Amino acid sequence: MSHAPVEEWAEKAKGSAALELERLIRTKATEHASKTQTEITVTPVELPVDQFFTLPLGQNILELLGEDERENFQKRQFYGTWDKGLFPAASFDSWTGEYLLVMRLTFSQDIRWWKRLYPHEGASIAYSTRNNYFPDFIAQDQAGRYWIIEGKSDKGHDDHIVQQKREAAVNLVSQLVSTPALKTPPGAT
């Protein structure tokens, strides 16, 4: 306060200064947290977490839509039946980043199965010291490799937070691959 160009601190000036100081501290703390390296701790989550699928009360499974039926798409509604989904129905947050992606996974000769991951299942990846994200899908290809999939539209691809999430997922997978106790035994899928 001694460095401020204020000669006499009235109550209103003190209040304004306190608010500005609070904003400055919050901004600097957020900047610092985003630059702080996260320590990767791997806690395996066995998938599928849910062993059965229960449709939420009042929800119906909507018929699958074709690529030209975007106007009929409804967010967070359940669509099915999926041939390669581990469960007959899944809900989606977006048309291009999720629904159409699953259509491509379903019709791909290279994909054995896919599963929609929901936040309540706990499969998350920390991308900063304060934030976790929940990948959209996991899939297994015909070679037995598992894929963590986060669908994004073209406009979201270059977003800073999206890139942080991508880097965190790459770091996690690198650690998983290099941790002997977490490697899949030969012959297992």
How confident is the model over 80-110, as pLDDT tens digits? 889 999 888 999 999 988 999 999 999 999 9
Domain ranges of the chain: 1-35, 38-182
3-state secondary structure of 70: helix
User: Could you read off the pLDDT of 45-78 as tens digits, one per residue?
Assistant: 676 666 677 888 888 999 999 988 999 999 999 9
* Average pLDDT value for residue range 125-134: 84
**Nearest in space to 98 (alpha carbons), one of 57, 135, 50, 132:** 135
Q: What is the largest CA-CA distance in the chain?
A: 78
164 pLDDT tier (thresholds 50, 70, 90): confident
Strands 61-63 and 78-80: parallel
CB 163 within 8 A of CB 148: no
Of 72 and 189, more confident = 72
**d(Cα 59, Cα 70) in Å, to the nearest integer?**
20
**d(Cα 13, Cα 111) in Å, to the nearest integer?**
64
Give pLDDT, residue 187: 47
**Nearest in space to 136 (alpha carbons), one of 167, 172, 103, 90:** 90
CATH, range 38-182: 3.40.1350
Evaluate the CA torsion angle 96, 99, 101, 107 in order and state its sign.
Answer: negative
Q: Which two tokens stand for residue 171?
A: 């770091």
The helices-and-strands tally (H runs, E runs) of the chain is 3, 8
Which range scores top for mean pLDDT: 18-27, 64-73, 175-184?
64-73
**Nearest in space to 42 (alpha carbons), one of 152, 148, 186:** 148
Evaluate the CA torsion angle 23, 125, 57, 151 in order and state its sign.
Answer: positive
**d(Cα 9, Cα 110) in Å, to the nearest integer?**
70
pTM attached to this predicted model: 0.67
Give pLDDT, residue 20: 86
User: Quick count: other Cβ atoms within 10 Å of Cβ 140?
Assistant: 18
